Structure 1
């Protein structure tokens, strides 16, 4: 059976949509290619919801890291190949000029019965009393109703049941190694090489701060939020849950990682692009 390929182009990006058309043409009769609904409208071909691509042999994300995170949230059951149209590209390792050749090569391998080559990346689950957020590739954040003066909340951090820190803070961030270069870095957290099995815990503007903590990937982080205004738990900056105080959020590695397909990006070269 021919491989099934999903293609998601960044919305409103003519370059991404043109590249999607080139990939569809290149795989031709060698694969059953589908595009997302927005791209289908632009290319005048039938599109499908991104969530419907979860059973594909491969999903190609064309855009920046935001597009990749969207694809991972909607279709994370399939290996994802990231084509980088952004600035840095920690998640999107393939340059636009190499995209067609890379997809064609992966399709050829799959037609010969080979699995899609890639690396497995952990995601985070965050849950509370009767709820659970969509898994996060980068980070889970628990913060007060608003940031800055007069905002924030009291947040206690426990790691595997042991108290690590407690302070009034704008929030607390738990990141994967993949996410250490994102929001975590902007809040003063450490860089973690993607191959390291770890979690990072970083306070955000705490009045009594502790240094950012790197702990093993098997840890469970418990964040206990108190304060008159409550707050939010947020997964990858998109999915959020309103928290009524007091609230406890448990964060740990999810059971369902994602597979980032294709060649591995150069972590240190990508770091050089950070401002």
Structure 2
């Protein structure tokens, strides 16, 4: 069995815990890869995070952002999150339980009984280009927000026009991402068991309210002016397209796969207040 370990950058506590987990896994004849940044902090040899898709399990130590970073690079590999952050919707394991949770997952894998929860992701497509899968949200926005910025656009859901307006941008969120950027833009919180996405227009001039659609629906955002459109997946890897442009957002074929204990959704919600 091969396990990858990714720790939050510039976090000595996360790096120290990564070293402890590595030792515990090696003692049980598990091959371990550690991401290069963490390995450097531990004076060990590291592996590029892009190679972690060849692992059987990845352990992410930090906040939800660390888990999403691991997921972008270890596409489809089960990820167990150890929570050093404040909320932890995805990272369910406290640091004091990390070793036992990881070793339990190893035992389950070896018994061909690893428990994995899947969370849907979204992809954006433009003329043959495809974004990395987003566990939280896809955003289409202008070069800048506020007065004089933004986009003129139309939003279509399965071919029908939902809204035509001017806004800073349009955000399409998964249930996982409903408590992230979507929430800060006035969108609703969505229970993770629901198979819906949220279409949320950001500071629209005369747009529609946030709209819940089936995750298998196709949402198309068509910009109508010459302004450039910037597309991001989970806030990363911005891709610029000159307008007008048509962006299709739909469910990714590969979900986020989360191993180990599941966080208490309502307990995590309480930490937002």
Unaligned ranges ≥5, structure 2 = none
SS in 2 for 1:48: coil
SS in 1 for 2:28: helix
Q: Is the 8 A contact 2:143 2:150 kept in 1?
A: yes
Q: Which residue of 2 aligns with 1:251?
A: 249
Q: Which residue of 1 aligns with 2:21?
A: 23
Distance in 2 (alpha carbons) for counterparts of 1:50 and 1:63: 16
1:172-211 mapped onto 2 (5 Å cutoff): 172-211=170-209
Number of aligned positions between the proteins: 272
Distance in 2 (alpha carbons) for counterparts of 1:258 and 1:141: 19
1:212-227 mapped onto 2 (5 Å cutoff): 212-227=210-225
CA apart distance, 1:51 = 1.3
CA apart distance, 1:77 = 2.3
Distance in 1 (alpha carbons) for counterparts of 2:108 and 2:186: 42
Distance in 2 (alpha carbons) for counterparts of 1:110 and 1:242: 41
Q: Which moved more, 1:38-47 or 1:14-23?
A: 38-47
1:44-123 mapped onto 2 (5 Å cutoff): 44-111=43-110, 113-123=111-121
Distance in 2 (alpha carbons) for counterparts of 1:120 and 1:229: 37
CA apart distance, 1:185 = 0.4
Q: Which residue of 1 aligns with 2:262?
A: 264
Runs of 4+ in 1 over 2 A off after TM superposition: 226-229
Distance in 1 (alpha carbons) for counterparts of 2:59 and 2:113: 16
Q: Which residue of 1 aligns with 2:129?
A: 131
The CA RMSD over aligned residues, in Å, is: 1.0
Return the TM-score normalized by structure 1: 0.96
Unaligned ranges ≥5, structure 1 = none
CA apart distance, 1:59 = 0.1
SS in 1 for 2:145: coil
- The equivalent position to 1:165 in structure 2, one of 139, 163, 166, is 163
